[in-house]
Amino acid sequence: MLALCAANAAYLAGLESAVPGGAVLVAGTGGPLVQMLRRADHVATTIDEHPDMLRATDGSALSAGVVLGAAPIVELIEERGVDAVLPFKSGPRLWRMADFQGLRVLASPDKLTRQLENKLALAEIADAADARIPDTVNIRLDAELAAAAANDGIALPRVYQPAVGFAGAGTVLLRTAEDVAALVAQAPASGGAGKLVEFVDGEPVTVNGVVIPPDTHGAGSEGEVLVGMVARQLTGLAGLTPTDFGSCGNDWSKPPPREAVVAVRSLAHRIGEVLAQRGFAGAFGIDVMLPTGGGVPVLIEINPRWTASLALQVELQQAQGMPTLLDAHLAAFAWRSDERTTLPELLAAYGPGEDAGCTRSTSPVATVIAYNATDAPIHVNPEFEPGVWRVGGEDEAPTVERLRDGWRIGDLRADDEVLIIPAGTARPLAPGAYLVRVVQRGTAASDGRARSLRPAVRALMDEVVSRVTL
């Protein structure tokens, strides 16, 4: 059996049904969601269900490594005969815990992924993949930078990105010298490492793929790269993220024009080839900007790991009768190879060709995610239950009513139903932490730029955030 391991159960929930024989879901937080999974006879547990274990972490981050080493989870893994773990995001502690328990880690080594995801390495990878990236300067947040901005030594506006981040955390738009000075003032005493990036106006999109390494699952000496469909990326939604470019979900109902889809998938394929050359295997994702007025897609970010949008994509792929990128990821690590989809079938669905199966239809589905957009910790209302909720009332003043358990898009039976999945309740949520996601049928974005929501969806998110928080 496979263990799906994440700091938050919401990032991997749903995948347990896509694994032959089922999977164990283990996480740091997400107790209410896990309780619902159990009611559907899925095996799941989180550390926040065990107060003694939660106290033992002494306030530290509930990373996948902390989760995998927790006593109740070790016991569950032994009871269920787990032989491998698929982490949402791995670090050295997870690898140590997996080795101690005799588990295979179905991910590329943590040292390699840290190197590849470091935003300061983007230029070198992009150059090898013949990809356009914004003009970029590596910097430190120090007095010298603030002085340069004050003396017009920096072309503004620019986007600041820290060396490593998640869901756009720490990424801000600097419009004036005063913005630069304020950012420097907030930096650690040693000066934060990062980069100043050209601001590219356009439409943000994202795409996921899988690298199957050489001589694995029928791949040749250079391996194979599979690439999924392109989705609009919801970013920087005021009130739902504290950062200018924070990722707030995806809208699958507004596919970009076909020529843009072809160009972005080709870019992702080239990036995958470079990752393969560096020894990477498994799922990855890239974020891309489609410039206003057209032109070559601009590579913004590489995520060399399982991504937050993949669980829903796997479900959509299943619903369309296609092989899934989860199956491809497991094939990349030769996990139970005889149960995997064949390589020719995977290539038919996700190969580099313009008419790959994944491009032939799109699903009218959107996910909108709210983070703690305040500057203080907040608490999730313990009385709020995840599941399928009906949306009623007026567009400007919606109401929500819980109907039943559910956490997959397939659990929605009508267009006025949505999935609402809040974070766990055991700990306060720090500024920028995941709060709640809403999955719905139909369009969420107001237009292709995806920087704003349709008024009815915006009102719904405001209502959900208010109901979920104390």
| Class of CATH domain 113-129+201-359 | alpha beta
Closest by CA to 391, choosing from 459, 307, 323, is 459
* Residue range 12-37: mean pLDDT, rounded: 89
Residue span(s) of the chain under CATH 3.30.470.20 come to 113-129+201-359
Residue-level pLDDT at 440: 96
Give the tokens for residue 395.
Answer: 């567009």
Lowest mean pLDDT among 185-189, 265-269, 354-358: 185-189
What confidence tens digit (pLDDT) does each residue in 133-171 have?
A: 988 788 888 888 888 888 877 888 888 877 655 445 577
Distance CA 42, CA 44 (A): 6
* Residue range 301-317: mean pLDDT, rounded: 93
Closest by CA to 173, choosing from 278, 244, 78, 236, is 244
Residue-level pLDDT at 350: 97
Distance CA 161, CA 167 (A): 12
Closest by CA to 180, choosing from 137, 217, 221, 211, is 137
Measured between its terminal Cα atoms, the distance across the chain in Å is 38
**For residues 37 and 407, is the Cβ–Cβ distance under 8 A?**
yes
* Residue range 215-232: mean pLDDT, rounded: 95
* Backbone torsion region of residue 81, taken as left when φ is above 0, otherwise alpha when ψ lies between -120 and 50, otherwise beta: left
Give DSSP secondary structure letters for 394-420.
ETTEEEEEEEE---SGGG--STTEEEE
- The single-letter DSSP state of residue 385 is P
Please give the residue that has the higher pLDDT: either 46 or 464. Answer: 464
Residue-level pLDDT at 92: 92
Distance CA 80, CA 350 (A): 33
Residue span(s) of the chain under CATH 3.30.1490.20 come to 136-198
Residue-level pLDDT at 190: 59
What confidence tens digit (pLDDT) does each residue in 388-433 have?
A: 999 999 999 999 999 999 999 999 999 999 999 999 888 889 999 9
Give the tokens for residue 313.
Answer: 């994509």
Looking at the chain, the whole-number percentage of residues with pLDDT higher than 90 is 60
* Residue range 75-100: mean pLDDT, rounded: 93
Confidence of residue 294 (pLDDT cuts 50, 70, 90): confident
Distance CA 444, CA 457 (A): 6
**For residues 297 and 260, is the Cβ–Cβ distance under 8 A?**
yes
Is the model's pLDDT at 119 over the cut of 70? no
Mark out the alpha helices in 187-220 (DSSP H runs). Answer: none
Looking at the chain, the whole-number percentage of residues with pLDDT higher than 70 is 96
* Residue range 285-306: mean pLDDT, rounded: 93
Is the model's pLDDT at 72 over the cut of 80? yes
| Class of CATH domain 2-107 | alpha beta
**Residue count (the chain):** 470
Residue span(s) of the chain under CATH 3.40.50 come to 2-107
Closest by CA to 438, choosing from 231, 208, 240, is 240
136-198: what fold?
Answer: Dna Ligase; domain 1 (3.30.1490)
The alpha carbon of 227 is separated from its chain's Cα centroid by a whole number of angstroms, namely 16
